[in-house]
Amino acid sequence: MSDAVTGGCLCGAVRYTLSKKPDAFGACHCNMCRRWTGGIELGVQVMPGDITFDDETHIKPFKSSDWAERAFCDTCGTSLYWRLTAPGAMHGMMALSAGSLDSLEGMVLDHEVYVDHKPAAYEFAGDRKQMTEADVMAMVQGSLEGDAQ
What pLDDT sits at residue 148?
40
Is beta strand 41-46 parallel, antiparallel or unpaired with respect to 51-53? unpaired
Q: Return the exposure string of 85-95: e unless at least 16 CB atoms fall within 10 Å of the residue's CB, then b.
A: ebebebeebbb
The CATH number covering residue 68 comes to 3.90.1590.10
Lowest mean pLDDT among 1-5, 86-90, 96-100, 120-124: 1-5
Instruction: List the end-to-end C-alpha distance of the chain, in Å, as a whole number.
Output: 30
Higher pLDDT, 86 or 81: 81
C-alpha–C-alpha distance, residues 119 and 98, integer Å: 20
The 8-class DSSP code of residue 51 comes to: E
Q: State pLDDT tens for residues 65-80.
A: 988 999 999 999 999 9
Note the pTM of the prediction, 2 decimals. Answer: 0.85
Work out how many domains the chain is built from and give that number: 1
Range of the domain at 43: 5-148
Strand-pair partners of 17: 6, 52
Please answer whether residues 73 and 13 qualify as being in contact, where contact means their C-beta atoms are separated by less than 8 angstroms: yes
C-alpha–C-alpha distance, residues 102 and 147, integer Å: 35
Cα-based distances in Å from 5 to 36, 76, 138, 145, 148? 24, 22, 32, 33, 35
Is beta strand 68-73 parallel, antiparallel or unpaired with respect to 79-84? antiparallel
* Nearest Cα to Cα of residue 59 among 88, 32, 82, 91: 82
What pLDDT sits at residue 147?
46
Report whether pLDDT(1) > 60. Answer: no
